[in-house]
Structure 1
Amino acid sequence: MTMKDSTSYFLPDFSSLAIAAKVLFMAEVIAVIFTIASSDSFAPADLRRFAFLSAYTLIVALVSLGLLRIVNRGLRQLSAIVGSLVVIALMLVAVVAVTEGLINGLYALGVIATRSPAWQLTMLVHSVLIGTVVMLLGLRYLFVSHKAQIDAKLEQEARIQALQSRIRPHFLFNSMNSIASLTRSDPARAEAALQDLADLFRVLLADARKLVPISAEQEISRQYLEIEKLRLGDRLQVQWTVSNVPRNALIPTLTLQPLLENAIYHGIEPRFGGGTVKIELWGDQSDTLNVLISNPIPEVRKHAHGRGNKIAMDNIRQRLASHFQDAASLQTFEEGDQYHVKIKMPIVRNQGDRFLAESSR
């Protein structure tokens, strides 16, 4: 088994500034711990000892990072055991080299009288033993941390996949009934509706982790609305407004469809005369994609269905957070007799830079 598999590779990227900062911080922590452990009175001599230990551990950390950065790419081709042994070996080389360099430096400065003081071997052995223990604990921490991250990621992906695959049973039953009623009176329209339904379910069963072009998301939303119009007829009116949105902008799959389903289920169906669902998409100067979906508020609200609406909103919030973290947001608000859902997310572009033609229908 090689370390090429990102789910099994737990060693960090040693060329990363974040990892370098963590290693240097840990070096300082080790210096502080040894200073406190060997001190009784915190006299000026202890401060000098701390300065010495701090310089020593920082130099060891910097030399280790330099060696590990050289072999960083090659580590990913090794197994977990071999990769860990290489890391330990290189860091021990750094410990020995810095220790020997320190002794030679002290001799050159006249601090010690010989290049091979009596305590040289003891210092080397202690440095190697302490370094080995620290490195084993560090590698164990990396392994546990990596496993926790992988488990959390897999759990999140499974939850997102399950949430995306959820579709209200009544929509399927109603759609099939509407299509069945058209098979004799309008076979062509029934065939088109079946194709739209197949496309919708193909997206529902697709990989929820992927981003898709907004043009594809618009098309699947259009197909969903066409299916609903079979059942609701003129009670359902749709108005699209698109402005300054890159055609190749990417968004999480099935961002619009669940919101449109909510708008119809909670806003159009309860109204005797139906109403208009408005979908507005626009990009602004801050490179942000804005989505606003509006529907009329029914005269008598279906309070029993509030939970279903909340689940759908939470679903989309979770998927937005998984892709964009805090850079995306979803908010709902009422204004007059309209209920609005507004989404903001960064514009992620695919290749090319064409724009969707401004439209309003």
Structure 2
Amino acid sequence: MKPNAAPLNFKDSTLQGGLMPADAGSVSPLVPRASMFDACHVGVVLRVVLFVQIVVAVGAMFGTAEPLDWLLQFSLLTGGALPATLVWLIAICAFKRGLSRLAASLQWLVGTLLGAVAGLYGCGLLALMGLLQPAQWWASAAGGALLSALVLQGLFWRAKARTPAATAARLAELQSRIRPHFLFNTLNSAIALVRAEPRKAEAVLEDLAELFRSALADPAESVTLGQEIALAQRYLAIEQIRFGDRLRVQWRLDASADTARLPPLLLQPLVENAVRHGVEPSASGAELKISTLRRGSTVVIKVTNSAPAGAGQPGHGLALANVRERLFLLHDVQAQFKTAFKDGLFQVRLEIPL
């Protein structure tokens, strides 16, 4: 598609004032291929390390009466617990594909055994440096196994939260992505173009087929930003036929950001929301701007639309909550999702790792 470019007066920076998280209403998350061994996220690593350090800090209180003694004991135990924790996390992350194929009971067994081995590794480090005499091998192995079992339980709950019932999730996705009136409007537009502009009618039907193909395809955990942009362009090409000059679109795309990963069908709902709340209610239409920008290891995505005069803040429904939930499930603390509404402009801003 060749997007219809129109000059806009949007500032390239985030709208000033009132950046806030999207409404956390009912959501319909994607059906991802989640795993209890999916520990390769910064947020997961930080939480696991913090949990282990808290346990170590509490354990160091036993047998110490003075704060200084506790600090020395905590520092000593940290010298073994922290490397052991990182080794366990690296092993879980490196072998997650193979571990995920095992039966549930074997997953727990292997994960716990790896924890015991990590505990022995931490004890060995302290013994090698002469800081733990005599070496507490059995206690270290038991402690590592117990902590790993607790962490695995947390990861199991996290994975369970990411895998809702497939039927309900797919139905909610189809209801929110391909609405019947959009289908009918598109088909009517194509029918109207068949005789006058058959090539344009063919292009509309091809774009519609691609949208349905993406919505009905087997759910994947992530796609590239470039793929999401191509899908959004097809959607806007269809809506351009329907709204004509009322829909004024400007694209500012950074090609170096196209490899960033997003959950499937994430950008299109944001663009659809902008059309619904900006173009449809306004007799004069609206201006829509989609921009991507790479900043080091971070990609910033903005979808901005003008709103009709007197309109309240748009975007409190299912679509924004759906996008926010699925984005955080994929990228956790590395992602940001904010909205802003000021001076008749509504903007959704996403930040994701590259």
TM (norm. structure 1) is 0.60
Q: Does the C-alpha gap of structure 1 residues 179 and 148 become closer, same or farther in structure 2, counting only changes over 3 Å?
A: same
- Residue 267 of structure 1 pairs with residue 278 of structure 2: yes
The runs of 5 or more residues in structure 1 that have no matched partner are 37-41, 106-122, 349-361
Which letter maps to 2:154? S
Relative contact order higher in (CA < 8 Å, ≥ 6 apart): 2
Q: Give a deviation string over 1:76-96, Cα, whole Å, max 9, x none.
A: 778443664575478579979
Amino acid at match of 2:231: I
Matched, 1:340 2:337: no
1:279 deviates by 1.6
Runs of 4+ in 1 over 6 A off after TM superposition: 10-13, 16-21, 50-60, 62-78, 92-99, 156-162
Q: Could you tell me whether the CA contact under 8 Å between 2:302 and 2:350 is conserved in 1?
A: yes
Among residues 292, 300, 325, which one is paired with 1:289 in the alignment?
300
1:142 counterpart = 2:142: no
CA contact (8 A) 1:178 1:231 kept: yes
Distance 1:158 1:333, change over 3 A: farther
Amino acid aligned to 1:195: E
Q: Which amino acid aligns with 2:341?
A: F
- Picking from 54, 57, 61, the partner of 1:32 is 61
Higher-Rg member (1/2): 1
> Amino acid of the residue matched to residue 7 of structure 1?
S
2:222 aligns with 210
Q: Which amino acid aligns with 1:343?
A: R
Taking only aligned residues, the RMSD between alpha carbons, in angstroms, comes to 5.2
C-alpha separation between the residues in 1 aligned to 2:334 and 2:77? 37
Instruction: Give the corresponding residue for 1:312.
Output: 319
**2:246 maps to 1:239:** no
Unmatched 5+ stretches in structure 2: 1-32, 100-105
SS for the counterpart of 1:315 is helix
Change (3 A) 1:320 1:94: closer
**Number of aligned positions between the proteins:** 305
Q: Which amino acid aligns with 1:221?
A: A
Matched, 1:7 2:35: yes
1:278 maps to 288
Q: Which deviations, in whole Å up to 9, do the C-alpha atoms of 1:55-84 show, x marking residues without a partner? A: 996787589779989998998778443664
Distance 1:149 1:95 in 2: 30
Residues 200 and 220 in structure 1, CA contact (< 8 A), matched pair in contact too: yes
* Distance of 1:69 and 1:213 partners within structure 2: 28
User: What CA deviation, in whole Å up to 9, does each residue of 1:134-163 have, x standing for no partner?
Assistant: 455334313322211211232499998666
AA partner of residue 140 (structure 1):
A
* Contact 1:24/1:58, CA 8 A, preserved across alignment: yes
2:151 maps to a residue whose letter is L
Q: Distance in 2 between matches of 1:318 and 1:71?
A: 28
The aligned counterpart of 2:336 is 328
Q: Take 2:47 and 2:252, find their aligned partners in 1: how far apart are those partners?
A: 41
Q: Read off the aligned partner of 1:317 and give its amino acid letter.
A: R
CA distance in 2, matches of 1:312, 1:129: 53
The CA deviation string for residues 96-140 of structure 1, in whole angstroms up to 9 with x for no partner, is 9999x99x97xxxxxxxxxxxxxxxxx99xx78766764553343
| Conserved 8 A contact 1:10-1:142 | no
Aligned-partner residue type, residue 212 of structure 1: T
3-state DSSP class of the match of 1:270? coil
